[in-house]
A and B are shown apart, each in its own frame.
Chain A
């Protein structure tokens, strides 16, 4: 007993160190995975008001760039309306039943907290369950794909950024329709990697990469980025480096896209798995 006490007294600092370090590693290992972001989000509620202030300040500073981006987006949307109006006029039947026709609903939101310098980046947006946001909705910026909602509280949501080692996206080359899997390699915040494209497919630098819509999260045909480099790896596949269309350093206004027919699609797919 005495020698045990002696031992404890002699190494008490080492023991405290090991206990605290054990706690930390335990937290690190259990609280950081994809699904436990919900737990983390509860803690985050405390720090939101401060982040909100910082974000307000920053949004004021970047108004000029935001305006430019919005103007560009407006032009694109006007062009799109123009196309749609033409087709409507040329057809005789106009379907106005939105329940059966509309598949995706859009909501706009503002990013209030964002990071690009970690290996697993998340960003927070200022809309939540009250405003109709739900888990697994897609998030895009005016330029292209930016992330997926992983957790919602009443008025805020946490989204997993494309710049996250756990992020996977089904994407295809616009020019020929071959699809592969897109993920981030953790190195450069402007680049991502598209893999599983077979080597007989013609690929060119500058080719557009867009979403496929297979996952029922992102609608089909949303811009992801452009091919900046490609090389052959292994026997069969290309490793294609992509410049992301979204600049995550100035991510501010985002679109949240919900798929109204997602449960239907998934139900059908699950029947045969």
Chain B
């Protein structure tokens, strides 16, 4: 218990630092900004109680909001991602269910499973985030373009980090 709290605490700090110091500064042409901090919500144990997951989502989003000066934007998108996560896990559960006390990681459930999981969660989060940012539906297609492009980069980076974790 204590062990996993420390482990996730470290993952949390590492991802936030990566996001704030590195990824928030990547600004290709105003269309691409990857948000990899979302990975923290994805990596929490499968059996985590839903209320704790929601609170942690809110906390993560709020901290990112602090650093990017956009109160409420990241927290609402991340809370939404935290809310749909149990349903997504249910939908794509492996044939013989999840192993007890396991994390949703690539090592245990394989690349294909993790890819689908990442795509769904990232798309939900980014769609909410970018539409909340513009806060209107005129220019629907351009915002949609930003969602798709940024999602592609976020997914790529998240997979890369996950591969690195697997390699260790």
Contacts and interface: CB of A to CB of B under 8 A. Distances in A.
Given A186-B139, A249-B27, A50 B79 contact: no
Interface size class of A (residues with CB under 8 A): 20 to 34
Contacts of A115: 27, 68
A118 B70 contact: yes
- Tell me which of A12, A20, A27, A115 has the highest count of chain B C-beta atoms within 10 A of its own C-beta: A20
B27 A187 contact: no
Given A25-B76, A186-B139, A31 B71 contact: yes
B51 A47 contact: no
Nearest to B132: A28
A20 B58 contact: yes
A17 B79 contact: yes
A38 B32 CA distance: 28
B61 interface: yes
A119 B134 contact: yes
Nearest to A29: B72
A116 to B, nearest CB: 5
A26 interface: yes
Given A12-B51, A13-B50, A40-B71, A188 B80 contact: no
Contacts of A188: 29-30
17 contacts: A13-B54, A17-B54, A17-B79, A20-B58, A20-B75, A21-B76, A24-B73, A25-B76, A28-B72, A31-B72, A32-B72, A44-B69, A116-B30, A117-B27, A119-B134, A188-B29, A189-B29
Interface of A: 12-13, 16-17, 20-21, 23-29, 31-32, 40, 43-44, 46-47, 50, 54, 58, 115-119, 122, 186-189, 249
